[in-house]
């Protein structure tokens, strides 16, 4: 028997069934005490309070259900997976979903960026195309840099998941999730602003693209929650895995010509230089492994 309410159940108005995450054991922490139940639409005791939409959608319209369960009985075979295994199931599904959200966002950003570049060359004002004004190439460059950084971050997180599964990639996925809203709002805002009135009009996609930023900051858990996964206040900062390759000084570099030739060529200087380099790389590895370098205690 289920009692409770759920806000923002996506696609509830069209769904043939819902998957409800419920507490089945209140005596253990939520990650071990929650289970998933499959409940057909129209089951007695599951009622719609109202439908909610996003942004400028008219009040009362939208795809997200506010639902209430009141003494809603479901048979035991409604259970998906194991009792108490709901949280794990959700994380497995949401992990990949969050990466896919990010990948789709990159596609949208690319679209906004392409439109920005096209407008910068096609619109002229005060005697020159927008792209020739100093601020515009700066704005385009900032956008390209942000998209490229984010694209690499998403690729890396996906690679980690490919190597070690979603458990290994959990923090990387949370980092992607936390980074996404700012990239979207920054880049889309620049593209929208460059288009002037056209940019904020309903003839362009920018307003709805921009809204994806704040929406994605909330969907699947707020940004702060994901930053907490990344750097929980109770633990050390996250580690970055993988060692830097240990470089050795090249012999060619030791044979410089000219008055100072041979200054690196003695065995002792060479080994000192090798040692310095190895120590630097070792330190970098240490920094990478521990997250942040620790200052020596006085
Ligand atoms: C478009 C959309 C679709 C959705 N679809 C679904 C769905 O299909 N199924 C479903 O179950 N849910 C769905 N949700 C709900 C979504 O998962 C929640 O909205 C989200 O987890 C945030 O919960 P909340 O809205 O209750 O905000 P709250 O938890 O009340 O958070 C309010 C604010 O406080 C911040 N905050 C929260 N905790 C902390 C903290 N510890 N420290 C600092 N700040 C904090 C949040 O980031 C946010 O800014 C959807 C939401 C949206 C917007």
CATH at 179: 1.20.140.10
Question: In this predicted structure, what is the pLDDT of residue 238?
Answer: 55
| Residue 133 and residue 208 in contact, taking contact as beta carbons nearer than 8 Å | no
100 plus 213 within the same structural domain: yes
* Ligand 1 pocket test, candidate residues 105, 180, 219, 234, most atoms within 8 A of CB: 219
What are the 10-residue block averages of pLDDT along the chain, 298 residues in total?
96 96 96 96 97 94 97 96 94 89 97 97 95 96 98 96 89 96 98 98 97 96 92 61 45 40 38 41 34 36
Q: How far, CA to CA in Å, does 188 sit from each of 25, 109, 137?
A: 44, 7, 15
Of the candidates 230, 253, 288, which is a domain's last residue? 230
Q: Whose CA is nearest to atom 11 of ligand 1?
A: 9
71 plus 157 within the same structural domain: no
Q: Whose CA is nearest to atom 29 of ligand 1?
A: 222
Pocket of ligand 1 (CB under 6 A): 8-10, 54, 64, 215, 218-225
Q: Whose CA is nearest to atom 2 of ligand 1?
A: 219
144 plus 23 within the same structural domain: no
279 plus 195 within the same structural domain: no
Domain enclosing residue 70, as ranges: 2-80
| Residue 38 and residue 3 in contact, taking contact as beta carbons nearer than 8 Å | no
Task: Locate the ligand 1 atom nearest the alpha carbon of residue 21 and give its number.
Answer: 11
Question: In this predicted structure, what is the pLDDT of residue 182?
Answer: 98
Question: In this predicted structure, what is the pLDDT of residue 119?
Answer: 97
Task: Locate the ligand 1 atom nearest the alpha carbon of residue 223 and give its number.
Answer: 47
pTM to 2 decimal places: 0.78
User: Residue 8 sits in a domain of what CATH number?
Assistant: 2.40.110.10
Q: Whose CA is nearest to atom 52 of ligand 1?
A: 219
Q: Whose CA is nearest to atom 32 of ligand 1?
A: 222
Question: In this predicted structure, what is the pLDDT of residue 206?
Answer: 98
């Amino acid at each position: 028997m289920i009692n409770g309410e759920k806000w923002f159940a996506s696609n509830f108005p069209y769904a043939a069934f819902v998957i409800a995450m419920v507490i089945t054991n209140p005596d253990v922490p939520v990650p071990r005490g929650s289970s998933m139940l499959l409940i057909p639409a129209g089951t007695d005791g599951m009622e719609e309070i109202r439908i909610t939409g996003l942004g400028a959608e008219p009040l009362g319209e939208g795809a997200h259900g506010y639902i209430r369960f009141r003494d809603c009985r479901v048979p035991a075979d409604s259970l998906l997976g194991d009792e108490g295994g709901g949280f794990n199931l959700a994380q497995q599904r949401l992990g990949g979903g969050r990466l896919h959200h990010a990948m789709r966002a990159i596609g949208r950003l690319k679209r906004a960026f392409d439109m920005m570049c096209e407008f910068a060359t096609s619109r002229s004002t005060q005697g020159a195309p927008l792209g020739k004004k100093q601020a515009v190439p700066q704005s385009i460059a900032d956008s390209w840099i942000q998209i490229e950084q984010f694209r690499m971050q998403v690729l890396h997180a996906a690679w980690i998941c490919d190597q070690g599964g979603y458990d290994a990639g959990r923090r990387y996925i949370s980092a992607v999730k936390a980074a996404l809203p700012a990239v979207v709002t920054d880049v889309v805002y620049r593209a929208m602003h460059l288009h002037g009135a056209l940019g904020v009009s309903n003839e362009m996609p920018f307003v709805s693209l921009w809204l994806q930023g704040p929406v994605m900051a909330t969907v699947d858990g707020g940004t702060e929650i994901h930053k907490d996964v990344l750097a929980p206040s109770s633990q050390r900062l996250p580690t970055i895995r993988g060692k830097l390759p240990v470089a050795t000084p090249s012999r060619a570099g030791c044979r410089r010509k000219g008055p100072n030739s041979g200054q690196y060529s003695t065995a002792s200087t060479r080994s000192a230089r090798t040692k310095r380099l190895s120590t630097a790389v070792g330190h970098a590895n240490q920094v990478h492994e521990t997250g942040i370098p620790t200052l020596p205690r006085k």
